[in-house]
Amino acid sequence: MDFWYKPTGVAVAPAYDGIAIATALYGQLSTPIVNCLTTSLSGTIAKVVGCNVEVNDGVFTVGTPYYNILDGTVSDDFLPGEVSVVIQKITGIAGRTGRGRWFMPGCPETFTAGSYLNAMGKTAYTTAATAFLANVTATITAGTCIMKPVHFLAHTGTINEIASAPVVSLLGRKSRRKGRF
């Protein structure tokens, strides 16, 4: 899943602030994600939850990884990897251009009723969507940096703040698309 955040308030210095920003993002997003993962493959397959913060200062881009191996909190089997929970990204721009989706694979079976999320699943993923939508605050060299979640529009190269992130009750599948230039 790709998350885009726009830093506001202070300038970000890549050499010093990447790890502070990564730590703040990880701290806010890891628990809601883990609460949507299963424990069924504990010890067999590592579930890596983390982030890679990339900061471009106008000259070059510096990436700062921050990862950890975490186990889920739901004791049940998960659905096949092709099946995902869909969280919509709605911006202030009208039409299909201002929308996007996050696909979260590995949904626990106890969160579903047929091809839909049940009440327990809807609650868990809505909690995750709320965390994704919240501003992330990081203390960096220049002061306090507030990062706002945004949707990247590839065809225009612009970013727009996400206004809401509703969870779709019907499970989805991320289709593979050919890369575009």
* 180 located within any domain: no
Task: For residues 137-142, give the mean pLDDT.
Answer: 76
Confidence of residue 58 (pLDDT cuts 50, 70, 90): low
Of 81-85, 135-139, 169-173, the range with the lowest mean pLDDT is: 135-139
Q: Please, is 179 exposed, middle or buried when counting C-beta atoms within 10 Å of its C-beta (0-12, 13-18, 19+)?
A: exposed
Residues with Cβ within 8 Å of 159's Cβ and at least 6 positions away in sequence, in order, are 4, 6, 150, 151, 152, 153
Closest CA to 47 of 116, 108, 115: 108
- Counting the structural domains of the chain, the total is 1
Give a yes or no: residue 176 inside a domain. Answer: no
| pTM for the structure as a whole | 0.79
**The length of the chain, given as a count of residues:** 181
How large is the C-alpha radius of gyration of the chain?
A: 17
Span 60-68, average pLDDT: 70
Range of the domain at 17: 4-164
Rounded distance, CA 156 to CA 148, Å? 19
The label of the residue with tokens 């092709």 reads 82
Inside any domain, residue 174 = no
